[in-house]
Amino acid sequence: MPPFHQKVILLCVLILLSGHNVLGTHENIINCLEGNLDLIVHCKSKDDNLGAHLLHYGETFGWKFQPKVVFGHTVFFCGFTWNGKLHWFDVYDGDYLKDDCDECIWKIFKSGPCRKEDDGQSTCFLWNKQ
């Protein structure tokens, strides 16, 4: 392959990777339900089913993954169940959350999930509609 073509291919690869975190993304879910309620968390993506996890008040469940960059985008959605009622939310959407974090911390409240931002503030969301 001629050196020019090698340089063009290398440049394309570097452009693709420049906006991509090669270390991956880490999601953390913390049970902050008022009344010390237990929380069942079940998260999955198109490619991965992380299974159901029981979190007592204050406990954390976390996982690490490599977001898709080229063919499609990564979406992780979680079901949150307490007192027999299911709520759900997209905790990671590579297409929607352009300001996504590398170390995401989600605190789960009855009113909805809140994501801790890099500046220490929290952004809270409503649950997705059933």
Domain boundaries, the chain: 21-124
pTM exceeding 0.85: no
pLDDT, tens digit, for every residue of 3-53?
Answer: 776 776 766 555 555 455 556 788 899 999 999 999 999 999 888 899 999
**Mean pLDDT, the chain, as a whole number?**
82
Of 68, 61, 59, 82, give the one whose Cα is nearest residue 21: 68
CB atoms inside a 10 Å sphere around CB 42: 17
Query: What burial class does residue 51 get, using C-beta atoms within 10 Å of its C-beta: 0-12 exposed, 13-18 middle, 19+ buried?
Result: exposed
Six token digits for residue 90:
């997209």
Secondary-structure class of domain 21-124 per CATH: mainly beta
